[in-house]
């Protein structure tokens, strides 16, 4: 309807307005709820050309369009807005069209350029946690939405399998893992613990032991013992300690935090971890063997978690591979004068032209930093997929600056495709006040496996209380509990605009309730319709039928799905899909409660309502699938 009106206005602009017009002047918006109408055209852009008031302009354009379009039943003008009432035959014809398309709203697969979507990208020193869940569900959903919009999509992740954090877990396992009666240290095989959790346990252990050492160092410094540190560090510590005199409590806390930070860098544990990193980059056989072994444990653990999540990847990249390319690119950039080297041997990118601090690319000891790896990874990906038209990084908003710098450095290196790199920046997931902050090194994160199992258990309990699972096998019941629990969790994390932060209480049952804007509400609506269709039997043909207001609203909303899907693909926002589905489910349940379907005596009306119901279920199924959520046929 919008396209038809737009084309009529463009083709007849000289007759109607006395001049040709730019397509951008033709603007539609959703009709206000307090105004009669199904579609609204903004009139203000045409007032100048028509040289009359907005109401007069609206009347003139409304009469013009009504004469030429059979489906405009009537119109009204409110200020500068022309509101059209579209007749029922138009909406019924729309129903016929959507009923004949299996994947209504979807564009032909691989008809648009290739896009790469990166998500998850975990560190191999810890298991996945609540913070990863929003990332993974968001990235996976965006990839599916882009596919539905016709793009060929490559789902990927960069596995951060190297660096000082990995060495911390390795060193702690080597130093502190107990030995059993067989002389074996702890492994997933002899403990029954998931590999990612075992390695994460020793990351926490490193921090614990390191803090104990820090306390000893601080105690020694307070007693005037500065043995073991260089002269410059000693002078800085003494300066800070002296500066506490006469300061207020908050200022003293800040100074003490700085002193503690210096102490952390003086621990033997951190020194040994840094030495281990240097050995690893030099391919020391023993260090490399330990690294391979422990990373192998983690990958097995990750695979189990991803399977539960219902997500997948087309291509994996490893930092241990791409950082080498990043180092080569950095050295090449240095030779070409794109980067510069400081006296200590470290290499930097000059970003002063962009009013940004210069960025370290290689440390003075030659080891790489995250930026080095990310540069190498980006180049590697475009080598693997030369047809890439864009690359989307799904990473939290605390990394906004990092990606701004990354894209600038890629531009400095001469890669024109850097302009097509996009940081899908999302708000962090936080726990409610009073539940503390999530810190991996302190072991206070909400584990992803535990959280998913928790929502499945809650779904099991709530579903059994409600009943309606008679006749299901135990296997079918468990599949349903998982679908409801994970569906509720995914929907909760995706229904909020990605740019906004999220407060999530893992102990709250809100996400899996059947009422309100929840995943289970959509699942229940789908199951309700499937039950209706089973009872309704074979649906016959139907002719013109008079639409009730509730039916018209449903058909209007269904007709919006292709545009919502397109917009979600442009803005990388699954929240648009989620909230569209919620409105659809609400409209349908209102209709279901107020209008007879199976008991309707008029065959045309009965069949039309069953066809409409079938298409509501279809769109819910398609939309929820784009969110990575399954919908049951029985519930």
Residue 435 has pLDDT above 80, yes or no: no
For residues 189-206, give the mean pLDDT. 96
Same structural domain, 63 and 173: no
34 & 104 share domain: no
Q: Residue 444 pLDDT more than 70?
A: no
* End position of a domain, from candidates 397, 430, 463: 430
pLDDT of residue 438: 46
**Span 55-66, average pLDDT:** 94
Same domain? 70 vs 113 = no
Query: Does residue 140 lie within any of the structural domains?
Result: no
Of 37, 70, 86, the domain-final residue: 86
pLDDT band at 532 (very low <50, low <70, confident <90, very high): very high
Task: State residue 465's pLDDT score.
Answer: 86
**What percent of the chain has pLDDT above 70?**
98
pLDDT per residue as tens digits for the range 584-598: 999 999 999 999 999
Distance CA(105)–CA(566), nearest Å, equals 8
- Measure the CA–CA gap between 197 and 445, rounded to whole angstroms: 12
Give the pLDDT confidence score for residue 541 in this predicted structure.
87
User: Is there a single domain that holds both residue 487 and residue 573?
Assistant: yes
DSSP string, 354-368: GT---EEEE-TTS-B
Place of tokens 């959509």: 522
Rounded Cα–Cα distance for residues 632 and 221 (Å): 64
| Strand-pair category, 151-159 with 315-318 | parallel
**Separation CA 594–CA 571 (nearest Å):** 36
| Number of structural domains in the chain | 3
Whether the per-residue pLDDT at 440 is higher than 80: the answer is no
Domain check: are 425 and 365 in the same one?
yes
Give me 416's structure tokens.
């024109």
Last residue within a domain, chosen from 430, 459, 480: 430
159-183 pLDDT tens trace: 999 889 999 999 999 999 999 999 9
CATH number at residue 9: 3.30.1360.70
Identify whether residues 370 and 415 lie together within a single domain: yes
Per-residue model confidence (pLDDT) at position 471 = 84
Q: Are residues 500 and 550 in the same domain?
A: yes
Specify the pTM. Answer: 0.90
User: Structural domain of residue 548, as residue ranges?
Assistant: 89-118+447-635
Q: Single out the residue of 634, 627, 621, 576 nearest to residue 310, CA to CA.
A: 627
100-105-108-114 Cα dihedral, nearest 10 degrees: -170
Say if residue 583 is exposed, middle or buried (CB neighbours under 10 Å; 0-12, 13-18, 19+). Answer: middle
pLDDT at 540: 87
Element (H, E) at 279: helix 268-281
Using CA atoms in the order 52, 57, 63, 64, what is the torsion angle rounded to 10 degrees?
A: 90
**Which residues, in sequence order, are bridge partners of residue 2?**
none
- If DSSP codes are grouped into helix, strand and coil, which group holds residue 430? strand
Predicted confidence at residue 367, as pLDDT, reads 84
CB-CB neighbours of 25 under 10 Å: 15
The rounded distance, in Å, linking the Cα atoms of 160 and 320 is: 8
Q: Does residue 183 lie within any of the structural domains?
A: yes
Q: Is residue 517 part of a domain?
A: yes
Residue 38: CB partners within 8 Å, gap ≥ 6? 31, 84, 85, 86, 552, 556
pLDDT digits (tens, 9 = 90+) for 389-431: 999 999 999 999 999 999 999 999 999 999 999 999 999 998 8
Q: Are residues 259 and 221 in contact, defined by beta-carbon separation less than 8 angstroms?
A: yes
Sheet holding 315-318, edge to edge: 315-318, 151-159, 112-118, 388-396, 421-426
Give counts: helices (H), strands (E), the chain: 23, 14
Q: Provide the token pair at 560.
A: 């919006």
Q: What is the pLDDT of residue 439?
A: 52
Mean pLDDT (whole number) for 12-25? 90
Work out the mean pLDDT of the chain and round it to a whole number.
Answer: 94
What is the per-residue pLDDT for 506?
Answer: 83
Is the domain of 80 the same as that of 170?
A: no
Residue 131 lies in a domain: no
What sign has the CA pseudo-torsion 321, 323, 325, 331?
negative
Residue 372 lies in a domain: yes
Same domain for 531 and 416: no
Contact in structure between 140 and 155 (CB atoms under 8 Å): yes
Report if residue 243 sits inside a domain.
no
Phi, psi (rounded to 5 degrees) for 453: -65, -35
The strand pair at 502-503 and 429-430 is best described as parallel
Q: With 70 as the cut, is the pLDDT of residue 320 above it?
A: yes
Question: Could you tell me what percent of the chain has a pLDDT over 90?
Answer: 87
136 part of a folded domain = no
| CATH classification at residue 460 | 1.10.730.10
374 pLDDT band, cuts 50/70/90, is: very high
Measured between alpha carbons, how far is 130 from 132 in angstroms, rounded to an integer? 5
| Together in a domain, 463 and 329 | no
Q: Are residues 492 and 367 in the same domain?
A: no
Question: Does residue 606 lie within any of the structural domains?
Answer: yes
Q: What is the CATH number of the domain that holds 331?
A: 3.40.50.620
Tell me: the pLDDT tens digits for 568-587?
999 999 999 999 999 999 99
Q: Are residues 72 and 102 in the same domain?
A: no
């Amino acid at each position: 309807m919008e396209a038809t009106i737009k084309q009529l206005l463009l083709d007849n602009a000289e007759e109607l307005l006395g001049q040709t017009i730019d397509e951008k002047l033709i603007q539609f918006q959703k009709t206000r709820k307090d105004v009669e109408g199904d579609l609204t055209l903004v009139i203000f852009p045409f007032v100048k050309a028509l040289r009359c008031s907005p109401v007069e302009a609206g009347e003139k354009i409304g009469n013009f369009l009504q004469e030429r379009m059979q489906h405009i039943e009537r119109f009204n003008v409110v200020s500068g807005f022309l509101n059209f009432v579209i007749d029922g035959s138009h909406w019924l014809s729309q129903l016929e069209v959507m009923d004949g398309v299996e994947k209504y709203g979807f564009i032909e697969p691989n008809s648009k350029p290739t896009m790469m979507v990166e998500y998850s990208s975990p560190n191999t020193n810890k298991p996945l946690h609540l913070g990863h869940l929003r990332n993974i569900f968001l990235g996976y959903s965006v990839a599916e939405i882009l596919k539905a919009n016709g793009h060929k999509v490559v789902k990927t992740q960069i596995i951060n399998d190297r660096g000082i954090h990995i060495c911390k877990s390795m060193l702690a396992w080597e130093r502190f893992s107990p030995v059993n009666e067989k002389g074996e240290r702890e492994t997933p095989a002899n403990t029954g613990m998931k590999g990612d959790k075992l390695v994460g346990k020793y990351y926490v252990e490193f921090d614990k032991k390191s803090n104990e050492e820090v306390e000893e160092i601080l105690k020694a410094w307070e007693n005037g013992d500065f043995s073991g540190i260089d002269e410059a560090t000693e002078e800085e510590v003494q300066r800070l300690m002296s500066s506490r005199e006469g300061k207020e409590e908050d200022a003293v806390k800040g100074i003490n935090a700085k002193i503690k930070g210096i102490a952390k860098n003086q621990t033997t544990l951190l020194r040994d971890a840094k030495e281990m990193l240097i050995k690893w980059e030099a391919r020391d056989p023993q260090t490399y063997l330990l690294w391979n072994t422990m990373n192998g444990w983690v990958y097995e653990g990750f695979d189990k978690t991803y399977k539960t999540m219902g997500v997948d990847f087309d291509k994996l990249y490893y930092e241990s591979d791409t950082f080498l390319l990043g180092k080569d690119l950095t050295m090449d950039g240095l030779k070409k004068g794109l980067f510069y080297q400081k006296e200590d041997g470290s290499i930097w990118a000059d970003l002063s032209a962009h009013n940004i601090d210069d960025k370290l690319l290689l440390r003075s000891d030659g080891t790489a930093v995250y930026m080095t790896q990310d540069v190498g990874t980006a180049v590697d990906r475009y080598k693997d997929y030369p047809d890439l038209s864009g690359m989307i990084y799904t990473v939290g908003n605390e990394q906004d600056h990092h990606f701004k710098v990354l894209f600038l450095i890629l531009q400095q290196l001469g890669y024109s495709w850097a302009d097509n790199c996009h940081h899908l920046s999302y708000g962090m997931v936080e726990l409610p006040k009073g539940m503390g902050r999530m810190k991996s090194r302190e072991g206070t994160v909400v584990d992803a496996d535990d959280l998913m199992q928790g929502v499945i258990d809650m779904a099991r309990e709530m579903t059994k209380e409600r009943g309606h699972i008679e006749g299901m096998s135990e296997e079918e019941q468990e599949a349903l509990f998982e679908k409801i629990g994970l569906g509720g969790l995914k929907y909760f994390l995706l229904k909020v605009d990605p740019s906004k932060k999220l407060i999530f209480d893992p102990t709250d049952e809100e996400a899996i309730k059947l009422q309100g804007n929840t995943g289970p509400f959509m699942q229940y609506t789908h199951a309700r319709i499937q039950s209706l269709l089973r009872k309704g039997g074979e649906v016959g043909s139907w002719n013109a039928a008079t639409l009730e207001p509730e039916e018209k609203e449903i058909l209007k909303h269904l007709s919006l799905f292709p545009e919502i899907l397109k917009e979600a693909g442009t803005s990388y926002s699954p929240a648009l899909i989620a909230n569209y589905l919620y409105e659809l489910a609400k409209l349908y349940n209102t209709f279901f409660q107020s209008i007879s379907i199976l008991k309707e005596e008029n065959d045309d009306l009965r069949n039309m309502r069953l066809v409409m119901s079938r298409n509501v279920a279809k769109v819910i199924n398609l939309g929820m699938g784009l969110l990575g959520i399954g919908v049951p046929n029985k519930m």
